[in-house]
Amino acid sequence: MDLRHLLPLLLLLLASGPAAGADPAVLWSARVQPLLDRHCVKCHGPIEKHGGLELDTPVAVLAGGDSGAVVVAGQPDSSPLSLNLAAGAEAHMPPDKQLSDDDREIVRAWIIALGDAPAAPAASPSGQTAETRAFATVTEAIDVLMAEAWARQGIEPAPPVDDAVWCRRVWLDLAGRIPTEAEQHDFLQAPSDTRRAALVDRLLDSDDHAVRMRELWDVFLMGRGKRESREERRRSSGWWSYLEQAFRTNRPWNTTVHEILVARPEGADAKGASWFLYERRNDHQAIAEAVAPLVYGARIDCAQCHDHPLAREIKQAHYWGLVAAFNRGKNVEGTTDVAESAVGGFVNFTNLKKESQPAIVTLLGGPTVAEDRPEDGQQEEDRDDRYVDPAAKPRVPKFSRREAFAAAATTGNPLLARAFVNRLWAVLLGRGIVAPVDEMTTRNTPSHPELLDWLAADFAAHDHDIRREVRGIVLSRVYALGIAADSALAPDPAAFSSAAERPLTAEQIARSWSIATGRPTENDGLRRAAVAAIPDVMPREYQATFQQAQFLSAAPALEELLKPVSESTVTRIAALPAPSERVEAAFRSVLGRAPQPEEAARAGEVLGGHPEQPVEAVRDLLWALVTSPEFLTMP
């Protein structure tokens, strides 16, 4: 039997999450809010407020409307919000549609849960919890606050993974590949009380970690390059080297963000920073839409034509103000410089009431960048004295809008730290404390508000120290949890009480395939092939494709890796005398563990069925293992 041609079970991974529990916050975010968004918020939201009733946030729902309260906590049969959904109700809602029994039951369950829910840490209007407790380390804060959350929700977290599994997980997360057998062996032989911390420190200090972080943040900041030419330009412009060096030297995150927003590299370490703006080719709206998730943790695209229909704090003025922050810039052809004029760029936008307003650089939840505006009809003169050095190429204005915005966005802007730690948490645990990570708005509440507040404040207080944050997370109890034994009974993913099933990225797959097959890890052709087939990084919803399955079951690049060349895994294992030894060696080389009895028996049958072709049989077994769900997901 040729196991290479079995369709990989990757297509079955990551089915939809389990039903939400009885926690009203979980029910709201997972079930009620999407339901009301689809059927109610158009007429009862921040833009239209029929009857004075708004249904886009729990606070607004509980506030009621012109006719009074619509929810009585714990009593759906006394709550107009529930009663009016029933067929035949006098004030039937939605007016032209009947919701299903299941949808109505979701609303009833939420109202019931409101009456039974234990109190959680309260959040202030600013989004910060009322009190900030003191903890000695990031790990201690996570362990204490997560344990308290599980206790409040009555959740028993999954058991922790063993050291071998933890070792494989942390290598994949921090170095972007599985460990070699020797690396795993050395870790397991180290003193048990210090080996985890020692390995984390070693990996954080490695070039592999700098490359892994660059791979991730290149996609987060720029998106996947859909053509190889775009990837090549990122490499040749110095953008990749810039990001790698920033992570290699643990440059403060606010410094890195400031450099890419200002786009005026000073010194060799900053060369390439301007590519963040340059690649968007003077499309100032595209720049604004890319900057917002970086500095606010939220997309603002929906505020282009009107205030955000759901997130009340995001105004149309924020969208066009952010456009104005960059609309004086222009790419200098033949270079990677982004010049900036000292004048111009004063634009107006029109709201839904056809009112024209000036676009002023205003930060979300923060200050406005002050600048003198010309009187209507007054023409500004672009004089030399408006520039620091009139002879410089490109010239730098004495007042730089984008530099003023960058300074405001990276000093005194608490959203910058919140956005980063939330995304980092999602990278390492499969989901953000606020999810999706680019929708950190007042209506999309954090699952663990005190924890997010603490992590963000601590990150900013420690000079935006990325390594400190990574180290604290991966040494925590929550990072080391296993996957729930019974996925059907697993709590909501937002509880973080078990490990999430995270698919590997293309780069992790390519590099780990090379390790497992005993081939050099620097294989750019393999990496490119994997990226072309599996381009997504942390997708909102995992959707396996036929293209991915075809790549995994018949990849020419993988066939090349499994050729029986000198010192390869295929050659080494095929030389072992007994099929049972070959099976054991194959599982340890690929999955980092011994086979279970049933696995050993099945694999032994495969090898034993081809005694005259040991190399081919070993190759087929290795192919099946490296394309298995276990290999292609985080352990």
pLDDT top residue among 159 and 377: 159
Amino acid letter, 391: A
Per-residue CA distances from 59 to 47, 49, 162, 164 (Å): 16, 15, 43, 46
Average pLDDT over residues 408-420: 96
Give the pLDDT score at 14: 29
The answer, yes or no, to whether residue 318 has pLDDT greater than 90, is: yes
Tell me the H-state helices in 74-162.
80-83, 101-116, 138-153
Same domain for 573 and 551: yes
Per-residue CA distances from 358 to 47, 345, 409 (Å): 21, 11, 21
Per-residue CA distances from 270 to 132, 239, 245, 258, 443 (Å): 35, 9, 9, 11, 37
Q: Tell me, yes or no, whether 331 lies in a domain.
A: yes
pLDDT top residue among 443 and 288: 288
Dump pLDDT digits (tens) for 569-588. Answer: 999 999 999 999 999 999 99
Q: Are 277 and 267 in contact (CB under 8 A)?
A: no
Q: What value, to the nearest 5°, has the Cα angle with vertex 526 and ends 525 and 531?
A: 100
Q: H or E stretch including 290?
A: helix 284-295
Per-residue CA distances from 423 to 56, 79, 428, 431 (Å): 24, 38, 9, 8
Same domain for 110 and 55: yes
Same domain for 514 and 626: yes
Amino acid letter, 184: Q
Same domain for 236 and 355: yes
Q: Are 558 and 538 in contact (CB under 8 A)?
A: no
Q: Are 162 and 133 in contact (CB under 8 A)?
A: no
Same domain for 508 and 446: no
Report d(CA 298, CA 443) in Å as an integer: 11
The answer, yes or no, to whether residue 19 has pLDDT greater than 50, is: no
Give the pLDDT score at 487: 52
Q: Are 467 and 204 in contact (CB under 8 A)?
A: yes
The answer, yes or no, to whether residue 223 has pLDDT greater than 70, is: yes
Give the pLDDT score at 128: 53
Number of domains within the chain: 4
Same domain for 351 and 428: no
The full DSSP string for 324-355 is: HHHTTEEE-TTSS-EEE-SS----EEE-TT--
The answer, yes or no, to whether residue 16 has pLDDT greater than 70, is: no
Report d(CA 189, CA 187) in Å as an integer: 5
Q: Label residue 4 by pLDDT band (50, 70, 90).
A: very low
Helix, strand, or coil (residue 163) = helix
Q: Tell me, yes or no, whether 255 lies in a domain.
A: yes
Q: Which residue has the tokens 């012109």?
A: 66
By mean pLDDT, which of 119-133, 256-270, 384-398, 400-414 is the weakest? 119-133
Q: Label residue 24 by pLDDT band (50, 70, 90).
A: confident
Q: Tell me, yes or no, whether 217 lies in a domain.
A: no
109-122: buried (b, 16+ CB within 10 Å) or exposed (e) per residue? Answer: bbbbbbeebeebbe
Same domain for 186 and 323: no
Residues ≥6 apart with Cβ < 8 Å to 477: 142, 143, 146, 147, 157, 160
CA atoms within 13 A on the CB side of 492: 23
**Overall pTM > 0.75:** yes
What are the backbone angles phi and psi of residue 358, rounded to the nearest 5°?
A: -75, 140
Average pLDDT over residues 551-567: 87
> If phi over 0 gives left and psi between -120 and 50 gives alpha, with beta otherwise, what is residue 361?
beta
Q: Which domain range does residue 53 map to?
A: 24-89+100-114
Give the pLDDT score at 83: 86
Residues ≥6 apart with Cβ < 8 Å to 159: 481, 482
Q: Are 279 and 222 in contact (CB under 8 A)?
A: yes
- The alpha carbons of the chain give a radius of gyration, in whole angstroms, of 27
Give the pLDDT score at 491: 66
The answer, yes or no, to whether residue 132 has pLDDT greater than 80, is: no
Dump pLDDT digits (tens) for 481-503. Answer: 998 876 545 568 899 999 998 99
Q: H or E stretch including 437?
A: none
Q: Label residue 553 by pLDDT band (50, 70, 90).
A: confident
Q: Which residue has the tokens 């590519």?
A: 275
Same domain for 371 and 252: yes
Q: Which residue has the tokens 């009809």?
A: 377
By mean pLDDT, which of 166-180, 204-218, 375-389, 481-495 is the weakest? 481-495
Q: Are 256 and 246 in contact (CB under 8 A)?
A: yes
Report d(CA 188, CA 164) in Å as an integer: 7
Percent of the chain past pLDDT 90, that is, above it, reads 63
Here the tokens at position 276 are 């963040």
Q: Tell me, yes or no, whether 124 lies in a domain.
A: no
Give the pLDDT score at 130: 47
Give the pLDDT score at 22: 58
Pairing of strands 338-340, 329-331: antiparallel
Q: Tell me, yes or no, whether 560 lies in a domain.
A: yes
Dump pLDDT digits (tens) for 84-110. Answer: 888 888 888 888 888 898 888 888 988
Here the tokens at position 259 are 């450099």
Give the pLDDT score at 555: 77
Same domain for 488 and 370: no
Q: Tell me, yes or no, whether 146 lies in a domain.
A: no
Mean confidence (pLDDT) of the chain: 89
Report d(CA 370, CA 323) in Å as an integer: 15
- The distance from CA 98 to its chain's CA centroid, rounded to whole angstroms, is 37
Here the tokens at position 584 are 């054991």
pLDDT top residue among 432 and 128: 432
- The distance from CA 566 to its chain's CA centroid, rounded to whole angstroms, is 40
397 prior amide bond cis, ω within 30:
no
Give the pLDDT score at 432: 97
Same domain for 377 and 232: yes
Same domain for 290 and 309: yes
Same domain for 507 and 578: yes
**What are 330's strand-pairing partners?**
339
Q: Label residue 2 by pLDDT band (50, 70, 90).
A: very low
Q: Are 121 and 449 in contact (CB under 8 A)?
A: yes
Q: Answer positive or negative: Cα dihedral of 616, 622, 626, 627.
A: positive
Q: Tell me, yes or no, whether 211 lies in a domain.
A: no
